[in-house]
A and B are shown apart, each in its own frame.
Chain A
Amino acid sequence: MTLLKVEDIKVYFPIRGGLFHTVVDHVRAVDGVSFELQKGETYGLVGESGSGKSTTGKAIVKLHQVTAGTITFQGKDLTYLSRGEMKPFRKDIQMIFQDPYSSLNPKKRVLDIIAEPIRNFERVSVTEERKIVQQYLERVGLNPDSIYKYPHEFSGGQRQRIGIARSLTLKPKLIIADEPVSALDVSVQAQVLNFLQDLQKEFQLTYLFVGHDLGVIRHMCDRIGVMYRGRLVEEGTSQDIYKNPQHIYTKRLMAAVPDLSPDARGQKIGLRKQVAEEYKQLYSTFFDENGRAYDLKPISATHKVALP
């Protein structure tokens, strides 16, 4: 079942300049991206910084206004809904932010942070609310007695789990995770990733997982979209992308991933040089004259590549 369908969305930011501060050009942060999320799957968006992956995620929850295109959630078009009309859908789509240090209000207690979505959408008594918060705190592995603490009293991993608890309280259907582990240490990262997988099973969640760490994306995602300069250049199952990358940019990305065996080192440097060379040569066959990637074309049932 298709839960979310994103069709050809564009997010342009105006560049103003000149005498009357008029719009002279646009930054094409997202420039025609389409994908679908099936219920219960994890879809990964990968790319370098500036490739528009976070902007895509944020556009879905309408933190950025879409310039063109449609976003369909459970068969309903969300793209041009007003704030009020959007409200019922906010319950179903939640977001986990990248930086656990800036996404929690430092002046609020954990209780208030986690209860905020409940207060906005449901009518529950104070005692019941506290019970719900404690239950979720326990579920994310934090001490239920810590509801009166403030965010600064927790470590990075614990804060990220507070953010996750907050996103769960309304029992959402879709969670957009915007680089949820990139600010964390490896051991804490493992904890959060395992935990996200457990939650997915328990609550039948669908994830849109935005990230730049190819190891993490491989670990978490069923299907992956590779973004470059606001466009998808390749999409497929993780097998397709990691074992059989077709687009020259995806190949370059894969070649850049450090290998854990020191023996492969020399080989890896050679491979990178070769791919960089190939990238220069084949640039014009994979990108049009404006440096824009072509539209995705299917090359197998699951695998799509941006080819002319």
Chain B
Amino acid sequence: MEKELLRVENLTTSFCIDDQYYAAVDDLSFAVHENEIVAIVGESGCGKSALALSIMQLHDKKRTKSEGSIIYKGTNLLNEAESKLNKVRGRHISMIFQEPLTALNPLMTVGKQIEESLHYHTDLSKKQQKAKTLTLLEQVGIPYPKRTYKQYPHELSGGMRQRVMIAIAVACSPSLVIADEPTTALDVTIQAQILDLLKDIQQKTKMGIIFITHDLGVVAEIADQVIVMYAGQIVEKGSVKTILERPLHPYTKSLLHSIPTVKKEKNRLHVIQGMVPSIAKMNRSGCRFKERIPWISVQSHAQFPRLHEVEPGHFVRCTCYKQFHFPKEGGTAIR
């Protein structure tokens, strides 16, 4: 087993809505190892991005509360002061955001933005910074590094911008990168290129990646471990092969059933009824997914389902998976 990089233990992140705190990330525990890509999947509103921002501590401190522990190299990041965190962010743990056009500074040239992170975290001279930036640009597959160095983000295409984001993220050779839907805004051909690039860099540097996505196809392409999140909790966890080939939790099964793929012929898609509950209105006892599978009898849901190991390395929350089946008629009524 590779060395453990980051361990999240019983992390609960709550947001303040009308003077009340509601947990968006609810008692979450997992670990990321060196040279490992952990994918976090779920619909929007499941708390995937809230989790990513909690690890980076980028939430507004006045309106959020994080409890539990995020242990990186023996220290709990939740207890660290902001100045200490600034030394970790970008240097040891860095982030790739979903929409490169909003994440990049429109008034700074690409080169300067990459140098910025080198400037804060390393003691390279100006000249060395520039040299390093050019090699980084080349590494991420930008065809003319010298020209791109002087360009502004708006002059680049979406795929090129995302490559710049990756260059910024890996500039200081971090040991962990959190990628929050890095390919969602991109075309399939560009997406494939970016995924291959990330995988390539990851294999060379042995870094760990937390890869957040809602696209199960992307998960199959890149992940080693998969965490399926629903309503702020982990509902299923295991290796890619287990999760995609032998899923147990009704939510994972439903997700896999609802995607149209290139291989399947025309037939009806499974529709997951209802939607992800909002954190303020959520019923927090019992299986949180039960409202969306009403045809399963109430008795099969445990009162407080625990995440338990069903086979080595495969964890499932909820007990109703034993009885779970899809409704008879392919799809269900739209409502």
Best-surrounded residue of A49, A219, A269 (most CB of chain B within 10 A): A219
Verify if A85 is at the interface (C-beta below 8 Å from B).
no
Q: Who on chain B is nearest to A47 by CB?
A: B187
Contact indicator A219/B266 (Cβ below 8 Å): yes
A96 to chain B, nearest CB (A): 16
Q: How far is the CA of A258 from the CA of B268 in the complex (A)?
A: 21
Contact indicator A141/B217 (Cβ below 8 Å): no
Contact with B along A172-198 (1 / 0, CB 8 A): 000000000000011111110111010
| Number of chain B residues close to chain A: CB under 8 A | 45
Q: How far is the CA of A194 from the CA of B216 in the complex (A)?
A: 20
Given A141-B334, A185-B43, A218-B261, does the pair A261, B275 have CB atoms closer than 8 Å? no
Verify if B220 is at the interface (C-beta below 8 Å from A).
yes
Verify if A256 is at the interface (C-beta below 8 Å from B).
yes
Q: Who on chain B is nearest to A189 by CB?
A: B258
With a CB–CB cut-off of 8 A, which chain B residues contact A255?
192
With a CB–CB cut-off of 8 A, which chain A residues contact B187?
48-49, 212
Q: Who on chain A is nearest to B261 by CB?
A: A215
With a CB–CB cut-off of 8 A, which chain B residues contact A269?
196, 199
Contact indicator A257/B188 (Cβ below 8 Å): yes
With a CB–CB cut-off of 8 A, which chain A residues contact B333?
141
A236 to chain B, nearest CB (A): 15
Q: Once A and B bind, how many residue pairs between them come within 8 Å at the CB atom?
A: 122
A168 to chain B, nearest CB (A): 14
Which range contains the number of A residues in contact with the other chain? 35 or more
Set A48, A186, A258, A265: member contacting B255, Cβ < 8 A: A186
Contact indicator B240/A254 (Cβ below 8 Å): no
Verify if A260 is at the interface (C-beta below 8 Å from B).
yes
Given A216-B260, A219-B260, does the pair A190, B217 have CB atoms closer than 8 Å? no
Contact indicator A259/B189 (Cβ below 8 Å): no
Q: How far is the CA of A69 from the CA of B191 in the complex (A)?
A: 34
Contact indicator B241/A218 (Cβ below 8 Å): no
Verify if B254 is at the interface (C-beta below 8 Å from A).
yes
Q: How far is the CA of A59 from the CA of B81 in the complex (A)?
A: 57
Contact indicator A185/B214 (Cβ below 8 Å): yes
Verify if A130 is at the interface (C-beta below 8 Å from B).
no
Contact indicator A256/B221 (Cβ below 8 Å): no
With a CB–CB cut-off of 8 A, which chain A residues contact B53?
none
In chain A, positions 49-87 with a C-beta closer than 8 Å to chain B are 49
Verify if A147 is at the interface (C-beta below 8 Å from B).
no
Contact indicator B44/A185 (Cβ below 8 Å): yes
Q: Who on chain B is nearest to A141 by CB?
A: B334
In chain A, positions 190-234 with a C-beta closer than 8 Å to chain B are 190-191, 193-195, 197, 212-216, 218-220
Contact with A along B217-238 (1 / 0, CB 8 A): 1101101000000000000000
With a CB–CB cut-off of 8 A, which chain A residues contact B272?
187, 190
Q: How far is the CA of A185 from the CA of B46 in the complex (A)?
A: 12
Given A141-B334, A189-B258, A212-B187, does the pair A260, B220 have CB atoms closer than 8 Å? yes
With a CB–CB cut-off of 8 A, which chain B residues contact A254?
262
- Identify 18 residue pairs between A and B in the complex whose beta-carbon atoms are under 8 Å apart, listed by A's number: A140-B334, A185-B44, A185-B214, A186-B258, A186-B259, A187-B255, A187-B275, A190-B271, A190-B272, A193-B260, A214-B262, A216-B260, A219-B264, A220-B260, A253-B188, A261-B220, A262-B220, A262-B244
- The 4 A-B pairs with the shortest beta carbon distances in the complex, nearest first, are A258-B217, A219-B260, A141-B334, A256-B192
Residues of A participating in the B interface, judged by any CB pair closer than 8 Å: 48-49, 140-141, 155, 157, 185-191, 193-195, 197, 212-216, 218-220, 242, 252-263, 265, 268-269, 272
Residues of B participating in the A interface, judged by any CB pair closer than 8 Å: 43-44, 158, 187-192, 195-196, 199, 214-218, 220-221, 223, 240-241, 244-245, 254-256, 258-264, 266, 268-272, 275, 331, 333-335
